[in-house]
Amino acid sequence: MADYKAPLRDMRFVLNEVFEVSKLWAALPGLAEAVDEDTAMAVLEEAGKVTGKTIAPLSRAADEEGCHWDNGAVRTPAGFIEAYQTYAEGGWVGVGGDPVYGGMGMPKVISAQVEEMVNSSSLAFGLYPMLTAGACLSINAHASEELKEKYLPNMYAGVWAGSMCLTEPHAGTDLGIIRTRAEPQADGSYKVSGTKIFITGGEHDLTENIIHLVLAKLPDAPAGPKGISLFLVPKFLVNADGSLGARNPATCGSIEHKMGIQASATCVMNFDEATGYLVGEANKGLAAMFTMMNYERLGVGIQGLASAERSYQNAVEYARDRLQSRSPTGPQAKDKVADPIIVHPDVRRMLLTMKALNEGGRAFSTYVAMQLDTAKYSEEASTRKRAEDLVALLTPVAKAFLTDLGLEAAVHGQQVFGGHGYIREWGQEQLVRDVRITQIYEGTNGIQALDLMGRKIVGSGGAFYKLFADEIRHFTATAGSELGEFVKPLNAALDDLDSLTAWVLDRAKGNPNEIGAASVEYLHAFGYTAYAYMWALMARKALEKQGDDSFYASKLGTARFYFARLLPRLQSLCASVKAGSESLYLLDAEQF
């Protein structure tokens, strides 16, 4: 496996040249004094070092060893405790955290790049700080000042970790039917009882305490999702002076034996009258949890991108070194017995597909992160509203499209290796196994597609979609003639997506099955169009700078490949959606 090198040059290109994020920061009072371009780039440089030198070398051995469960205790693989301590001491767990409680205070566009780096270095390792950062978001947004002061500093510092406890054995996505209960106590605390499954980082040995955010129902709660509350349940109770007290009866019953992310502890958690504290208002736990969901779902999309990036780096190195056969146009390495496989058209197809999808995904995830920053920090109500609507629209696309394409790209990287890609020692098969989970957790990609199609497109009557489409139209209308080779196909793609959106909106009025039937293909059609917009933005900047160095020439070549070979996938997706839902219901249940 190639040594992981953080793609800092491409990150700087996206942040500083394509999106000019320093201008955004200057316009947002909450960020104007907190970060500038030099500081942000220094942060990314340091993140690249710690992920590349400390975490990435552990990835394969940690996958082989996995986590160990023993009578409720979980031991992480060799080297993880020391690596986590190094990561935490650098402030990386709290990179996007509130400075009032010890966080670094970086905007999401920066923490998103850090997330990519840590997940490229080891997806299993990256889950531990990711869950902690997500828990901190909900606590900071909804908990009382007392809880924030008591828990956030140690969580941002990486001394304590966090987990999200949502899913139950009988209730996956349908959280309205959870059975975990919370009984109020005279001192204002609650006794939380129930079983949660698939809890990432529910138990481990990386930190001295773990702070669980648990969804549960109060005795008098209304039925369904409107009766869910959120509780903070620590592994160890915390005394008034901040020291650790008694062990709370929140225990790990077992860990799952999984396809991938072996070094991440996926736990069954049992709460047996564990002491907990209400976060936010009673019966409004889903709203409190969803504060973190847009961030977490973007983070999962970035995990797909991160795995694909690692696979690409491995595949490129291998393709340059592996000798096999001669180029169709004649020998290229005449002093060798064969040519490097990078000369072969099919290998180039796979590598360019990976490169185009990864770089398009990095631009798109950064764009979504910019909307999150704008929604959080802007003082203009209309600007915040527009950003919030874009976040609502684009979050399911970011989660599902980046992870679907992350698997595709990881498989391409494995395929470049041929038989060696199927062998563990090369690392490619691990990336395929690891990235597969990203399509499943934080809401399966089918659920994300339903959210996009049902709630965001049909639910808004197309208003959210129009925001994004109008922005693209403005770009193409004002682009110079030198961008014609990109603007023309982008306009055509947007016309197709406009037509597809109108078709679904119309058909859904008479047949609700059309929403579910169209959803997955529609999300992909949307994603390819959004990537085309990203590539047009990148091509504009590359055209301005193409005489400077080969980086910009590479960027232009990859943009041309995307428009020539990947954007045409849109046509088959549109045809599939417009075939309608009828063919899905031609068989009775017993005929399957």
* Separation of alpha carbons 448 and 442, rounded Å: 9
- 167-190 residue pLDDT tens: 999 876 677 789 999 999 999 999
Q: How far is CA 72 from the centre of its chain?
A: 30
* Phi then psi dihedrals of residue 332, to 5 deg: -105, -40
Contact indicator for 415, 538 with CB cutoff of 8 Å = no
Burial category of 250 from C-beta neighbours within 10 Å (exposed 0-12, middle 13-18, buried 19 and up): buried
Question: Position 155: which residue type?
Answer: M
515 domain-assigned? yes
The answer as to whether 328 is a domain residue is no
Domain for residue 222, yes or no? no
Q: Is residue 9 domain-resident? A: no
How far from 591 is each of 24, 35, 585, CA to CA, in Å?
56, 60, 11
CA 91, distance to chain mean position in Å, is 21
Q: Is 38 exposed, middle or buried (0-12, 13-18, 19+ CB in 10 A)?
A: exposed
Q: What angle do CA 435, 437, 438 make, to 5 degrees?
A: 70
- Domain hosting 511: range is 449-585
What is the chain's alpha carbon radius of gyration, rounded to the nearest angstrom?
Answer: 24
Of the residues 442, 485, 521, 582, only one is catalytic, namely: 442
What pLDDT sits at residue 362? 98
Give CA angle at 229 (224, 234), nearest 5°: 140
Any domain includes 417: no
**The pair of three-digit structure tokens given for residue 40, joined into one six-digit string:** 């942000």
Q: Is 45 an active-site residue?
A: no
Q: Which pLDDT score is estimated for 173?
A: 67
* Cβ neighbours around 508 below 10 Å, total: 19
Query: Which region, left, alpha or beta, applies to residue 217 given φ > 0 means left and ψ of -120 to 50 means alpha?
Result: beta
Per-residue pLDDT tens over the stretch 362-418: 999 999 999 999 999 999 999 999 999 999 999 999 999 999 999 999 999 999 999
Q: Please report, in tens digits, the pLDDT of each residue of the chain (592 residues total).
A: 689 999 999 999 999 999 999 999 999 988 988 899 999 999 999 999 999 999 999 999 999 999 999 999 999 999 999 999 999 999 999 999 999 999 999 999 999 999 999 999 999 999 999 999 999 999 999 999 999 999 999 999 999 999 999 999 987 667 778 999 999 999 999 999 999 999 999 999 999 999 999 999 999 999 888 999 999 999 999 999 999 999 999 999 999 999 999 999 999 999 999 999 999 999 999 888 877 777 889 999 999 999 999 999 999 999 999 999 999 999 999 999 999 999 999 999 999 999 999 999 999 999 999 999 999 999 999 999 999 999 999 999 999 999 999 999 999 999 999 999 999 999 999 999 999 999 999 899 999 999 999 999 999 999 999 999 999 999 999 999 999 999 999 999 999 999 999 999 999 999 999 999 999 999 999 999 999 999 999 999 999 987 768 999 999 999 999 999 999 999 999 999 999 999 999 999 999 9
* Residue at 576 is within a domain: yes
Helix 37-50 to helix 108-121 angle (10° resolution) is: 10
C-alpha–C-alpha distance, residues 292 and 135, integer Å = 7
First CA to last CA distance, the chain: 43
Q: Report how many domains make up the chain.
A: 1
> What pLDDT does 261 receive?
98
Name the maximum alpha-carbon separation found in the chain: 83
| Residues 6+ positions from 394 with CB-CB distance below 8 Å | 367, 368, 371, 468, 530
Classify residue 537: in a domain, yes or no. Answer: yes
Cα distances (Å, whole numbers) of residue 288 to 103, 108, 130, 346: 20, 19, 17, 48
Distances (CA, A) of 259 to 171, 273, 438, 461, 516: 22, 33, 12, 40, 28
